[in-house]
Structure 1
Amino acid sequence: MFRSRSIKHARLLIRHAEKLIRYRCDVLSDAALADLRRQIETLERSIKERDLPGVRENSERLDALVAEHSPSHREAGWRENCEVILVAIVVAVGVRSYFIQPFKIPTGSMQPTLNGIIGHPRTEPAPNILRQIAEFFILGRNYINVVAPEDESIREIVEQKYLFFFTWSRIVTDRGTHLVYAPEATLGHDFQVVPGARYQRGQIIARGVIDTGDQVFVDKFIYNFMKPHRGDVFVFRTKHIPMIPEDPQTGAPYFIKRLVGSAGDTLRIDPPLLYINGEPAKGFGFQRVMKAKPPYRGYTLGRQYLARPDQSFTVPPHS
């Protein structure tokens, strides 16, 4: 076995050396080409004579010559790493664009089925920095503390996203700007931080904790082959939906909801029940909400649609 392996390695080395000669014959000197050809002939003679010590010795010499006259590959490692990273990025972007996309639950409208970004106002100061770091990574909890340095009023709140996941808001006042790691909707809904609000010097603008909530993967592929069914939880874009403003930078926001009605269904809410085509909604997800057992609160009336128990809504036929 040792003999056949040594000879096989020597023959592969000869083929590699001959390839090097063909590849670099125009840049190698005549002396270098002569040395390579001479060493190839010597190794072939050792193989033919079955001279194992000679095969090993001449293989080492030919290998040294090949290494000496081969182009340098000192940057090959960096190049390969860059290629791997680039391919990984392309694959990740492709998967995110056409198959699966990460999605952060923006609000608490589907709690406790799905936990969204919820703010909890507090008056006590935040804990020490080590505990804050631990809770951020373990619980997804972020502490905020914005205090008015002087008398000021809020002009606007500008939300900005970084790397698709990190949402910051700039609270712009007539005296300056406060940067807060929280969505605009959470500041307004949970902390009552809205444009026009006035604060005196030393007054708390927003203090408390913000729980990040759930982060899920959205299947963007399956509905190309099947229609959504009643009871499915799905993500949709709110483009052209009245009363939902579009962000000038990111466009219409995404909502995550449970599908309750398909084309032609008639819906009605008589708290805490949801009626579909005149009957209480069927299915585990609906029944769990309609029982209104804490933390569930049942279905409640809307503002514009289904605003009264006797008001119904029929889903358009081509929805």
Structure 2
Amino acid sequence: MKIAAGIFAVVLVLLGFNSMYVVNEGESALVLQFGRIVRNGDQPGLHFKLPLLQQVVHLDSRILTLDAQPERYFTSEKKSVNVDFYVKWRIADNATYYRATGGNELQAVQRLTPIVKDALRHEFNARTLQELISGGRKDITASVRKQTDAIARKNLGIAVVDVRIKRIDLPDEVSESVYKRMRAERLQLANELRSTGQQLAETIQADADKQGQIIRADADRDAAKIRGEGDAQAAAIYAQAYGQDPEFFAFYRSLQAYKKAFADGKGVLILKPDSEFLRYFSNPAPARH
């Protein structure tokens, strides 16, 4: 009797342990009974199930990475490119995911990969090589993510979080032709910029020359006007002085002539003694009226 009771107690303990299970952080769980899902989406923590009748399937709830092998695609011009890419994905629907993959991550990757490759092929086939080189990657990856996410959610219970292109490699012959075309385009652009700069410089120089001529003409006109006004004022002053004392004015003008004639100290004048030019030397005192 005691032996039977002990065995019964051991069985109860085993059944108790078998009825408990723990879901860790970064996981969720499904509970199956006879192969059917009876409970879905258990979160981290301690949970219970029917011992022996039910089993637990643990699923990774973190964002996972699909790092595929480089694939060869053709552009709309039938030029080949080698594309290296990766995909970020997570389980969005535990039940759909389990039915599609049996909870096997490797099988999920094997089924998701062709979906992504088909979407990439469609995008590359619709674009020229120039469009790919000039920076169309964001448009491609955004479109691929949208397409694959819709298909993967429906068929696999997987959400495609992100699609990234790591690199696009061109075959050698394509690389050479692309390099030559890009070099020609850069040279053409450089020539256009130099030509535009030369034209702009010539325009600026011509405008500066024109403005300089205008300024010089204005300055010459103003200077001539000022000289004319000065000469007129001087003439008026001379005329006024001459009118007041003609003899003194004649004497002053003679002094100015003497000063100019003998300014360098080397001048020699040959004149008659009674020359009008020397009359103030012989009679320095002007007559007074």
- Would you call these one fold, judging by a TM-score over 0.5? no
Structure with the larger helix share: 2
Instruction: Report the TM-score, using the length of structure 2 for normalisation.
Output: 0.21
Instruction: Report the TM-score, using the length of structure 1 for normalisation.
Output: 0.20
